[in-house]
Structure 1
Amino acid sequence: MRDWQPFLGLPLWLWLFVIPTLVALACLLVPGPAGRILRPLQRLADRIYLGSGVLAAGFMLLILLLIVAQMVARWSNLTFPGSTEYAGYAMAATSFLALPHALTRGAHIRVSIFLNISPRIGLVLDAVAMWIAAITATYFARYAIKTNIFSKMLNDRTQGQDFVPEWLLSFFAMFATAPSKWGELWAKTGSEWVYTPVWLPQLPMSIGTVLLALALWDYLCRLLITRRSSITSEAVE
């Protein structure tokens, strides 16, 4: 688990930590050109954060529907196998997919008592805290993805009564398979329901942590470009 294999000729830790830090330093030293270069990417990133929040809301709605289905099944003397597991998966997906959108809306807890000492000290402390948070989130995202990979390698399955259709697994497997092998992949796909592989409910965790790390690096760059925090809490009255 401590390997940092090369990617495109460079060690993975260089891509994940050093290069984003250099980009942040460029935003600090030359904010004008850096802002013009990053602005289109930031607009795209904002849409991604919003889409992740919408997905999180969808999974939250799914929790409600599962609860209602459990109630109806109980009243009808029917069984709903795996309902508890499905609700747990939906709750995990809601929590992780909401992370980047919640950050951009100021919903995360941020201790700002020291940021009010002076504007200059507040900027430095805010930038350092954001950089540490970005490093931590990137580290977490890297191991979340490795957890997915190991679960797939070990063919780990859930211990509950939850099942998923086999075609759903083939659909997600397409993203990790060369297009030339898609025909062979679907030819081997049946219509049966199988025990849920652990990597499937772990996917939202990996996606959410990757987007959180991206959002932290993004908003660190915005902070260094504009010299003020772009994370503002939405007032609720």
Structure 2
Amino acid sequence: MVLTRHLFTFCGALAALSLVGIAVLILAQIVLRMMGSQIPSADDFAAWGLSASIFLALPTALTHGDHIRVTSLRQLLPAGIGHAADIIAAGFATLMMAWVAWAIFGYVHESWAYDDVSQGIVAVPLWIPQSAMAFGAILFAVAFAERTLRLVLGLPVERDDVAEQARGE
């Protein structure tokens, strides 16, 4: 589980780098347009960067407890029932994300099998930018599976709680 946490953190860093790349691309595009030029397919690259940043950030956001959750009902339930509801919700989310990851992986494989390329000025094989989406979705499913396992075993699920437990606090 330590390995997955490091992998999730690495993906979060890649997501942040992707956002920095988008900012640099947009600034470069602004400067070049003022000089009468432009970056070919800049819109495509920015869109792929945004998709990568979203999907690659999902696992680390989950392990930090940064996803929006409906806790109103959970807070009204007794501790045991609430814990069981958390396990059921995390298990359901694991199954749903596994299905989503499988579907996205199939989409990427199809793009690779048919040699699909982007329609912009720069013809990029679509499986390349789509791979970040598939990788992020797969790791998000793994993060939910890990969350489910931690809940079943009674271990802390959020990163701060895990760090406190490792320090013995």
Answer yes or no: same fold by TM over 0.5: yes
Aligned residue number for residue 3 of structure 1: none
Gaps of 5+ in 2: 161-169
Aligned residue number for residue 211 of structure 1: 139
Map 1:21-100 to 2 at 5 A. 42-100=1-59
Aligned residue pairs, count = 160
For residue 124 of structure 1, the aligned residue among 59, 62, 84 is 84
For residue 130 of structure 2, the aligned residue among 202, 205, 210 is 202
Aligned residue number for residue 148 of structure 2: 220
Please give the secondary structure, in 1, of the residue aligned with 2:133: helix
Aligned residue number for residue 180 of structure 1: none
Using the size of structure 1 for normalisation, the TM-score is 0.65
Q: Distance in 1 between matches of 2:93 and 2:157?
A: 16
For residue 231 of structure 1, the aligned residue among 144, 147, 158 is 158
Q: Distance in 2 between matches of 1:145 and 1:159?
A: 21
Please give the secondary structure, in 2, of the residue aligned with 1:121: helix
Q: Distance in 2 between matches of 1:139 and 1:231?
A: 24
Q: Distance in 1 between matches of 2:14 and 2:132?
A: 10
Q: Distance in 1 between matches of 2:38 and 2:118?
A: 19
1:203-234 CA deviation, whole Å, 9 max, x = no partner?
0110000000000000111111126x51378x
Using the size of structure 2 for normalisation, the TM-score is 0.90
Q: Distance in 2 between matches of 1:153 and 1:205?
A: 17
Gaps of 5+ in 1: 1-41, 164-194
State the one-letter code of the partner of 1:215: A
More helix by percentage: 2
Q: Distance in 1 between matches of 2:109 and 2:100?
A: 14
1:164-209 CA deviation, whole Å, 9 max, x = no partner?
xxxxxxxxxxxxxxxxxxxxxxxxxxxxxxx101111100110000
Map 1:156-167 to 2 at 5 A. 156-161=116-121, 163=122
1:131-165 CA deviation, whole Å, 9 max, x = no partner?
0000000011111111111111111111112x3xx
Q: Distance in 2 between matches of 1:120 and 1:225?
A: 14
**Structure 1 residue 79: deviation in Å?**
2.3
What RMSD over aligned residues (CA atoms) do the two structures have, in Å? Answer: 1.6
State the one-letter code of the partner of 1:139: W
The structure number with the bigger radius of gyration is: 1
Q: Distance in 1 between matches of 2:62 and 2:30?
A: 34
For residue 140 of structure 1, the aligned residue among 100, 106, 115 is 100
More strand by percentage: 1
For residue 110 of structure 2, the aligned residue among 150, 153, 157 is 150
Identity of aligned residues (%): 31
